[in-house]
Structure 1
Amino acid sequence: MPEITHDEWLRRAKALEPSGAHHVDGADEPGSGATYAAVSPRDGQLLAQVADGGAAEVDAAVAAARRAFDSGPWPRLAPAERGRVLIRIADLLEERREEMALTISLEMGKPVTDAYAIELRAAISTFRWYGQLADKLADESPHTAPDALALVTREPTGVVGAVVPWNFPLTLAGWKIAPALAAGCTAVLKPSENSPLSALLLGRIATAAGLPPGALNVVAGNGPVAGRALGLHPDVDVLAFTGSTAVGRHFLHYAADSNLKRVWLELGGKSPNIILPDAPDLEQAAATAAWGIFFNQGEMCTAPSRLLVHSSVADQVTEAVVERARALRVGDPLDPATGMGALAGEHHLSRVREHIAAGRDEGARLRHGGGRTLTSTGGTYLEPTVFDRVDPSMRLAREEIFGPVLSVLAFDDLDEAVRLANATEYGLAAGLWTSDLSTAHRVSRALRAGTVWVNCYEEGDLTVPFGGMKQSGNGRDKSAHAIEKYTELKTAWIQL
């Protein structure tokens, strides 16, 4: 990334004037005039007044998306033409990469270097990848009787409602929106009320890239009002959601209470990270374990929050992780030297601290951290936190914390490790460290998780699908498989 100093990021932050208007039918809309304050977790300062969308604003956005799908050009364009627009979105995101990274850092607290190098890289790659895929999706002609011709075509489903969280506001929006648009659908995006500004900017960039009016609409607002209205709307054909399991259940109810729209869910996680004594490099395994739980302030559904370590190396690995935690610099997200920024807000910080208090009360040993820090900044900062001597029955081991809090559990044999790993209602991701090829295959198959990383963590690219099992959700983001969520199969049987 470019070498931008802390002072320069501060100067740009002062000059930033983000718009909080909805983006509907290709234009900014103030909505009813009701607004709410978007406050930065970095320092508690006001970023913008954001339009507070309700049922009326959602109705207008869905109506625009319906018109664009039923009579607009987008679904009727040649796939290659749709692909070119998606690639142009990627190009414009690249051109405005620094502005977008700064917006994300300010609105949700992650280090601006991570926003630039990781989140924007992922978002740009997503739109470009699906743009390149758009004209490479094939229909089918099954072999039938000689006097008939069968055609199976894949058609866009219609209007897609996408509700995304604040932890990766642009990446996760791209994972929903890019394949939906590539398939020929139109969309209404509802970002988290904690991170609306980057999504609203994405809507404007998409329009500037040539996306027809109504093909992508962005409505800001809170979940119980705007999200609920989108989930219940009878003109929404597909609802794609990333967030908590509790809210995912609400969307299933909304679908049942409305038009039985398809609901695709990517929900919570309590991911195990298993380190065996024969790991290729125990220091690297420990370093990756620490990076995985503290990256993005631990605000990741895939965060390896349960570190399962063989008892013969548990002390060695735990001490290495604690040393990494001690060395990690918590600081201003706009300082390039910062390793961990602010948590997403006061409410979320309080919730994470409740879990830390419960860990202490239940008898886990606090090895590092656990306290709020940098209080003079006005921001919501927490020390990286490590517990060991965690029992599987403790809340630390069972509940998703969504913060920089690691629980270390020891095991004595491989069967016990697999039992501990699977002893959760979630099934999003898992890690395994071993030098034995047979163990790698057998344990990967035994783990009930949508993704298993072996001798690494959080690796992959857009060619591979991502999603969960059990109460971590259904369906898959990324890869060509994501197109399946936004298309219908139609059979035409022609008698010859």
Structure 2
Amino acid sequence: MQRLDQQFIDNHWVASRGERRLPVTNPYTEAVIAEVTAGHPADVDAAVAAARRALPTWRARSGAERAHYLDGFADALTRRREALMRLSSTNNGKVLAEAAIDLDDAIACYRYYADQARALDARQGRPVTLGMEGVEARCYHDPVGVVGLITPWNFPLVTSAWKLAPALAAGCTAVLKPSEVTPLPERALAEIALEIGLPAGVLNLLHGDGEGIGAPLAAHPSVDKVSFTGSNRVGEAVMHAAAERTAGVSLELGGKSPILVMDDADPERAADWVMAGLYFNAGQICSATSRLLVHEAVAEPLYAALAERIDALVLGDPLAEGTTMGPMTSARQREAVQGYLAIAEQEGLAAVRDARHRELPGQGFFLAPTLYRDVPVESRLWREEIFGPVLCGRSVDSEAQAIRLANDSDFGLAATVVSGTAERARRIGRQLQAGSVWINSEQLVLPETGWGGVKRSGIGRELGPWGLAAYLEVKHQIGAA
């Protein structure tokens, strides 16, 4: 059993000051496979100090020089791809095919921001068109400074790439806190930093929980910005801590995303996109399209097609080739979802598929893929993020009703529209309150396009040029021509 009781600070593994230890569990075998330190505020102090020392030299490097290191991360992850896939599946519970997608996404992200770093050089000092004679202005982009990066457990190496790659490209130095639930894959980033010769202090990786590392990092007076992905409850606490010193924040929080299936949609194709949007990663996706709004004209064939596909899901060992859905990542998350299933039982929701329709594996934190239909809009299952393989459906009688119900949510992270014509789907998508809208598609998340939501789904954007801008401050020099 691994003992992760050291922190990566200033390019050295040093003993954590924390005395508490947390178990790291294989969600399929339910065995404890490691112990990780809960961390200590003194660890944060040391890591932030290292990042602050490294900042002047790192920010002075050209974008092309920083791009060299980002390409180094991509190359090293490529070499480790197979091993990290298996490690992620073992620690997180996702099937190997999904872990492969994660690794490829992370690699593509580092490649993209290497290109963005190189392009940043050419943007520095660009003249601004002015309406005043005899005056010139030039625009520069400076790094925010020392950034605290806090990532969740559902997509190891992916969400860290979304934060770390643009932060380093911008010239920031970073203190990264991966989830204490899935710390094993993220340790590779520290190993890679040493392997590629990343200057000391540019990346510091701290293991720990919210008490030991997360809260002290968010509140640290020498952290210039915090980027957090996770629950609304914790995100609000991060925002409050940053507000105490007027520090910047980026927040990617919860979702309750709709998928709209219109009357001209092909039920078979629609069923494939519904499945991909909800049962991927056992439903542990912030963008999960967990509210199904289906036109009554195609409701019956769609529910029949979904029942068939749910029955075809193979639950089991995530490392086994034939498995198509793994366990929940933790016993705690399984219990949280079971709480919603108990509410559904109390409310008498009509289950098209649930635990009564299949036998679960004898071990592991498994939940049966579940589908309810005709769910009242007042139900907590309809309105709250469940973060598990639970889909709630409602029939609609018009396009207008579908749009109204889709927007009737506290969240606005993502949405999907399925229609017989892309033109109609795009028109509907323009009326949806969401940061990303997929049109007759599975959930494609690309490094070139922005990621983030509206309403309670967060503040700011990751990925694309907007992801880089999140770690830059704009400076103008104005004077006589």
Deviations 1:393-449 (A, max 9, x none): 111110100000111111111111011101110000001111245532331111000
Matched, 1:83 2:70: no
Could you tell me how far 1:147 is from its partner in structure 2? 3.2
Deviations 1:72-93 (A, max 9, x none): x321211111101100110000
Deviations 1:257-290 (A, max 9, x none): 2x211010111111100001212x3201112212
Q: Give the 5 Å matches for 1:283-298.
A: 283-298=268-283
Worse-superposed segment, 103-112 or 270-279: 103-112
- Alpha-carbon distance between aligned partners in 1 of 2:189 and 2:84, rounded to the nearest angstrom: 9
- Alpha-carbon distance between aligned partners in 1 of 2:87 and 2:32, rounded to the nearest angstrom: 13
Residue 38 of structure 2 contacts residue 212 of structure 2 at CA under 8 Å; is this kept in 1? Answer: no
SS of residue in 2 equivalent to 1:29:
strand
Could you tell me how far 1:246 is from its partner in structure 2? 1.4
Could you tell me how far 1:453 is from its partner in structure 2? 0.7
Q: Give the 5 Å matches for 1:228-267.
A: 228-257=215-244, 259-267=245-253
Match of 1:369 in 2: 354
- Alpha-carbon distance between aligned partners in 2 of 1:180 and 1:136, rounded to the nearest angstrom: 15
Match of 2:47 in 1: 61
SS of residue in 1 equivalent to 2:127:
coil
Could you tell me how far 1:106 is from its partner in structure 2? 1.3
- Compute the TM-score of the two structures, normalised by the length of structure 2: 0.95
Q: Give the 5 Å matches for 1:98-247.
A: 98-116=82-100, 118-137=101-120, 138-139=123-124, 140-144=126-130, 145-247=132-234
Output the amino acid matched with 1:425: D
Residue 373 of structure 1 contacts residue 382 of structure 1 at CA under 8 Å; is this kept in 2? Answer: no
Deviations 1:46-101 (A, max 9, x none): 2222122121111111111111113xx32121111110110011000010112211
- Alpha-carbon distance between aligned partners in 2 of 1:288 and 1:18, rounded to the nearest angstrom: 41
Worse-superposed segment, 329-338 or 198-207: 198-207
Match of 1:450 in 2: 435
- Alpha-carbon distance between aligned partners in 2 of 1:197 and 1:437, rounded to the nearest angstrom: 42
Could you tell me how far 1:494 is from its partner in structure 2? 3.0
Matched, 1:399 2:384: yes
Output the amino acid matched with 1:56: A
- Alpha-carbon distance between aligned partners in 2 of 1:353 and 1:373, rounded to the nearest angstrom: 16
Root mean square deviation, CA, Å: 1.7
- Alpha-carbon distance between aligned partners in 1 of 2:5 and 2:427, rounded to the nearest angstrom: 50
Judging changes above 3 Å, is the alpha-carbon distance between structure 1 residues 115 and 51 closer, same or farther for their aligned structure 2 residues?
Answer: same
Residue 4 of structure 2 contacts residue 37 of structure 2 at CA under 8 Å; is this kept in 1? Answer: no
Could you tell me how far 1:303 is from its partner in structure 2? 0.8
Could you tell me how far 1:112 is from its partner in structure 2? 2.2
Output the amino acid matched with 1:420: L
Worse-superposed segment, 203-212 or 467-476: 203-212
Matched, 1:307 2:292: yes
- Alpha-carbon distance between aligned partners in 2 of 1:482 and 1:209, rounded to the nearest angstrom: 24
Match of 1:275 in 2: 261
Give the counterpart of 2:447 among 452, 455, 462. Answer: 462
Output the amino acid matched with 1:407: C
- Alpha-carbon distance between aligned partners in 1 of 2:63 and 2:424, rounded to the nearest angstrom: 44
SS of residue in 2 equivalent to 1:268:
coil
Output the amino acid matched with 2:451: F
Deviations 1:319-351 (A, max 9, x none): 111111111000011112110001011111011
Matched, 1:482 2:467: yes
Match of 1:10 in 2: none
- Alpha-carbon distance between aligned partners in 1 of 2:44 and 2:97, rounded to the nearest angstrom: 34
Give the counterpart of 1:471 among 434, 441, 456. Answer: 456
- Alpha-carbon distance between aligned partners in 1 of 2:312 and 2:362, rounded to the nearest angstrom: 21
- Alpha-carbon distance between aligned partners in 1 of 2:2 and 2:107, rounded to the nearest angstrom: 23
Deviations 1:446-495 (A, max 9, x none): 10000111111202421111110000012111111111110101111233
SS of residue in 2 equivalent to 1:206:
helix
Residue 20 of structure 1 contacts residue 200 of structure 1 at CA under 8 Å; is this kept in 2? Answer: no
Residue 20 of structure 1 contacts residue 197 of structure 1 at CA under 8 Å; is this kept in 2? Answer: no
SS of residue in 2 equivalent to 1:114:
helix
- Alpha-carbon distance between aligned partners in 2 of 1:233 and 1:99, rounded to the nearest angstrom: 35
Output the amino acid matched with 1:60: A
- Alpha-carbon distance between aligned partners in 1 of 2:360 and 2:417, rounded to the nearest angstrom: 35
Q: Give the 5 Å matches for 1:289-368.
A: 289-368=274-353
- Alpha-carbon distance between aligned partners in 2 of 1:373 and 1:233, rounded to the nearest angstrom: 49
Matched, 1:40 2:37: no
- Alpha-carbon distance between aligned partners in 1 of 2:37 and 2:54, rounded to the nearest angstrom: 23
Identical-residue share of aligned pairs (%): 40
- Alpha-carbon distance between aligned partners in 2 of 1:18 and 1:334, rounded to the nearest angstrom: 23
- Alpha-carbon distance between aligned partners in 2 of 1:212 and 1:373, rounded to the nearest angstrom: 52
- Alpha-carbon distance between aligned partners in 2 of 1:415 and 1:20, rounded to the nearest angstrom: 56
- Compute the TM-score of the two structures, normalised by the length of structure 1: 0.92
Worse-superposed segment, 32-41 or 204-213: 32-41
- Alpha-carbon distance between aligned partners in 2 of 1:49 and 1:360, rounded to the nearest angstrom: 37
Residue 440 of structure 1 contacts residue 454 of structure 1 at CA under 8 Å; is this kept in 2? Answer: yes
- Alpha-carbon distance between aligned partners in 2 of 1:195 and 1:64, rounded to the nearest angstrom: 25
Worse-superposed segment, 477-486 or 176-185: 477-486
Could you tell me how far 1:210 is from its partner in structure 2? 2.1
- Alpha-carbon distance between aligned partners in 2 of 1:402 and 1:352, rounded to the nearest angstrom: 7
Output the amino acid matched with 2:93: G
- Alpha-carbon distance between aligned partners in 2 of 1:88 and 1:190, rounded to the nearest angstrom: 21
Output the amino acid matched with 2:151: V
Count how many residue pairs are aligned between Structure 1 and Structure 2: 475
SS of residue in 1 equivalent to 2:459:
coil
SS of residue in 1 equivalent to 2:222:
coil
- Alpha-carbon distance between aligned partners in 1 of 2:352 and 2:425, rounded to the nearest angstrom: 30
Residue 192 of structure 1 contacts residue 223 of structure 1 at CA under 8 Å; is this kept in 2? Answer: no
- Alpha-carbon distance between aligned partners in 1 of 2:115 and 2:146, rounded to the nearest angstrom: 22
Judging changes above 3 Å, is the alpha-carbon distance between structure 1 residues 203 and 313 closer, same or farther for their aligned structure 2 residues?
Answer: same
